[in-house]
Each structure stands twice: as structure tokens, then as C-alpha cells.
């Protein structure tokens, strides 16, 4: 029998904020594929009624071929393709499939990744290769987002061995420092820097040292940072 770990500090809403701030860019959201309500959006492109019928029929065919994914077809005829591109980018949908008359004729589509802007993030994919290619792109996008976020986190963690180093580190990142577990030292750090403990790792192996505030011997290290 093991006791479960519970929290009561609004974790669900904080996770939403963390996803937005961690992965978003100036265009809007970038949602991790495994969490995104819509993983793929199809945007049809046409100039007249004849093209509209052919493109929409092909778009439905593509949608059916990708039914294993969370997919939607943007059939808002009153909006331009450019408007739709911006709209779905803002919503953070991981993959966008563009289908125009030439794509229908070639039995191909254009797939654009949300995390790579411009032509660099686009690829032409044949219809028969769509399911496996979409899955591959979603997996690549997931790993790329995870690596980017992990790198950013690691680059902004500073092993602060002194109180002066801690005060400097929390100005633009996180300080990882020894702490004696006393409320007084934690309060002093908050008073001097506005930083508080963000996390105390469960594993505290090889962490013998002295508290950066009072100098007492301790086996505990914690992450300190400002709240935003």
C-alpha cells in the first residue's frame, strides 16, 4: 500500500498557463500534439465554384483517411485561406493541411508544422502516405517541443553556491541552492529578492552543503525563482 500524492493549489489551471507560456510564440498558441484538442486542420483553397467542388470533395477524402487523428475541416466559405491560416496558427493546432486545385490534380497535399514557420515547415505528401506521415510529423513535433522547452529550462538554472549568486541568479532564471529548511531563511530570501521556492526535488542524493543564507549544514537543495 502506498499513499498517493495530492495537491490543492489549482494545478489544472496552472498547467494551462504553463503550456501557453512555455510553448507559445508571437503568433499564438503552439499546443503539444498529445494534448491538442485538434491535431490536424484541413484548409481548402479555391477561386471559383468548379474548384470549390473538386477541392472540397478531395478534402473530405483526406479527412476520412485521417480519421484516426483529431482532425477538422475548415469549411467556412466566407473566410479567406490567409485568414484561416492565421486563425488556426493562433489556436495552436500542430499540423495544417493545405489543399488547392493543383494538389488535387497531383493527388498530394501540403502539410505545415505549427512550430516551424514559413516554407521550412512545409512538405508535400502523397495521399497514400498521409496516415504514416502525419503520425511521424506529430511525433517529431512533440519531441522537438519537449527538447526546446527542456533546453530553455536547463539554460536558465544556475547552481548558486552563495547568497550573492542566488540573488543574481533569480533576476533572470532559477537558482538551485542549499537551504536549511528553516522558514526564517526562506522568508529572508523572499524579502530580499521576491523569489520563493518553486520545487524541492524528491531525490536529494549527493547534496551535502551549507545553507546559502545562514551557513548551517544541510542535505537539502531547492529551486528558487520569482513568480510571474
At 6, the pLDDT band (50, 70, 90 cuts) reads confident
Where is pLDDT greater, at 3 or 129?
A: 129
Percentage with pLDDT > 70 across the chain: 100
- Please tell me the predicted confidence (pLDDT) of residue 39: 99
> Given pLDDT bands bounded at 50, 70 and 90, which one contains residue 203?
confident
The three-state secondary structure class of 170 is coil
Angle between helices 49-65 and 130-155 (to 10 degrees): 70
In the numeric block, which cell numbers belong to residue 18?
A: 504553463
Look up residue 50 and give its three cell numbers: 468548379
pLDDT at 205: 79
* Burial (0-12, 13-18, 19+ Cβ within 10 Å), 36: buried
CATH fold for the domain made of 11-152: Rossmann fold (3.40.50)
Task: Assign 164 a pLDDT band (cuts: 50, 70, 90).
Answer: very high
How many Å apart are CA 199 and CA 18, to the nearest integer? 15
Q: 5 vs 176, which has greater pLDDT? A: 176
- Say which CATH topology domain 157-226 has: Translation Initiation Factor IF3 (3.30.110)
**Residue 7 above 80 pLDDT?**
no
* pLDDT band at residue 4 using 50, 70 and 90 as cut-offs: confident
H, E, C per residue of 73-93:
ECCCCCCCHHHHHHHHHHHCC
Range among 1-15, 143-157, 201-215 with highest mean pLDDT value? 143-157
**Domain chopping of the chain, boundaries:** 11-152, 157-226
pLDDT number for residue 204: 83
| pLDDT tier for residue 227 given thresholds of 50, 70 and 90 | confident
Confidence of residue 12 (pLDDT cuts 50, 70, 90): confident
**Domains 11-152 and 157-226 agree in fold:** no
What does the pLDDT average to over 153-171?
97
Amino acid at each position: 500500500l502506498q499513499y498517493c500524492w495530492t495537491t490543492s493549489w489549482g494545478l489544472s489551471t496552472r498547467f494551462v498557463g504553463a503550456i501557453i507560456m512555455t510553448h507559445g510564440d508571437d503568433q499564438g498558441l503552439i499546443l503539444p500534439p498529445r494534448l491538442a484538442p485538434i491535431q490536424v486542420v484541413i484548409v481548402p483553397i479555391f477561386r471559383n465554384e468548379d474548384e470549390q467542388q473538386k477541392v472540397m470533395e478531395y478534402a473530405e477524402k483526406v479527412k476520412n483517411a485521417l480519421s484516426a487523428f483529431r482532425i477538422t475541416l475548415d469549411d467556412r466559405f466566407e473566410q479567406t485561406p490567409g485568414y484561416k491560416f492565421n486563425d488556426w496558427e493562433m489556436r495552436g493546432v500542430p499540423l495544417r493541411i493545405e489543399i488547392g486545385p493543383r494538389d488535387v490534380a497531383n493527388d498530394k497535399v501540403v502539410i505545415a508544422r505549427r512550430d516551424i514557420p514559413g516554407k521550412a515547415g512545409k512538405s508535400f505528401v502523397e495521399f497514400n502516405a498521409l496516415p504514416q506521415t502525419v503520425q511521424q510529423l506529430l511525433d517529431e513535433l512533440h519531441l522537438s517541443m519537449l527538447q526546446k522547452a527542456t533546453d530553455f529550462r536547463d539554460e536558465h538554472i544556475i547552481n548558486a553556491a552563495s547568497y550573492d549568486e542566488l540573488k543574481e541568479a533569480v533576476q533572470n532564471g532559477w537558482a538551485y541552492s542549499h537551504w536549511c529548511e528553516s522558514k526564517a531563511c526562506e522568508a529572508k530570501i523572499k524579502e530580499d529578492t521576491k523569489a520563493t521556492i518553486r520545487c524541492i526535488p524528491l531525490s536529494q542524493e549527493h547534496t551535502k552543503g551549507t545553507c546559502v543564507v545562514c551557513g548551517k549544514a544541510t542535505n537539502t537543495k531547492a529551486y528558487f525563482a520569482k513568480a510571474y
